[in-house]
Amino acid sequence: MTLDPKDLAARLYTAVLSDVLDEMGHMNQALRSFVRPLDDGFVMCGFARTGLYRPVYAVEPGRNPYEIEMDLVDGLKPGEVCVLACGGPTERIAPWGELLTTAAWVRGAAGCLTDGLVRDVRRIREIGFPVFCGGIGPLDTKGRAEMAAMDVAVEVAGVRIEPGDLIFGDADGCVAIPHAIAQEAVGRALEKVSAENRTRDALLEGTSLREVFERFGVL
């Protein structure tokens, strides 16, 4: 099975993926609930490109504090999600805004996920680029934080994410699917969606919850 992010975004949803991951024994793949989409209509699906931030307290004269950050965004490919680990919103780091959104959107990236803050939200919503974040704030990272490494394992909102993991987010939240099990998880999720559709149809016909659960095994 080829994992096409655009196709999966149209066919799947976070809750069913979370259920499947639980069934497979991966019960810590849903990010903490403070990570929310800038717009509940956003659906994000793509493969992780990671960036790890660290606090700083000054910028040396003549030094570009955005060096690694620029390399990561400029290197994004279609279907990739920029995943930025900032240690949570309490660090008051806002690494993502309108200009990075524009650069990522032009490159066909699938979205941005961060446990840090985001700014320029009106322009991001106008562009329609999926962004999931820990909060909203105006502060630039300059003099406060820098990306220390890219394409490394990170932890975002309580979930370990590695480069290439499949990231999926919608109005219910966000899950990270380890790349080693992504094919199986997606296959199971598509089967579960089909069963849930049949369950919904039966419920609309007046069938009881108990009967549809015995028939289809989903609820």
| Predicted confidence band of residue 89 (pLDDT cuts 50, 70, 90) | confident
Mean pLDDT, rounded, for 151-179: 98
Residue 192 lies in a domain: no
Decide if pLDDT at 193 tops 90. Answer: no
In a domain, 209, yes or no: no
The DSSP annotation for 33-48 comes to TT-EESSTT--EEEEE
Is 97 marked within a binding site?
yes
Is 209 known to sit in a ligand binding site?
no
Q: Report the pLDDT averaged over residues 149-162.
A: 98
In 3D space, the residue among 48, 50, 41, 47 whose CA is nearest the CA of residue 13 turns out to be 41
Q: What range defines the domain where residue 131 resides?
A: 25-177
Mean pLDDT over each residue of the chain, to the nearest integer = 93
Examine residue 13 and state whether it is found in any structural domain, yes or no.
no
pLDDT at 215 over 80: no
Angle between helices 67-74 and 98-106 (to 10 degrees): 30
pTM, full prediction: 0.91
- 41 within a domain of the structure (yes/no): yes
Q: Per the domain annotation, does 33 fall within a domain?
A: yes
Reply yes or no on whether the pLDDT at 218 is more than 90.
no
Say if residue 21 carries a ligand binding annotation: no
Count the neighbouring beta carbons within 10 Å of the beta carbon of residue 211. Answer: 11
pLDDT in tens, 102-141: 999 999 999 999 999 999 999 999 999 999 999 999 988 9
Q: Is 211 annotated as a binding residue?
A: no
Task: Count how many domains the chain has.
Answer: 1
Segment 28-58, tens digit of pLDDT: 999 999 999 999 999 999 999 999 999 999 9
Is 119 domain-assigned? yes
Question: Three-state SS for 217?
Answer: coil
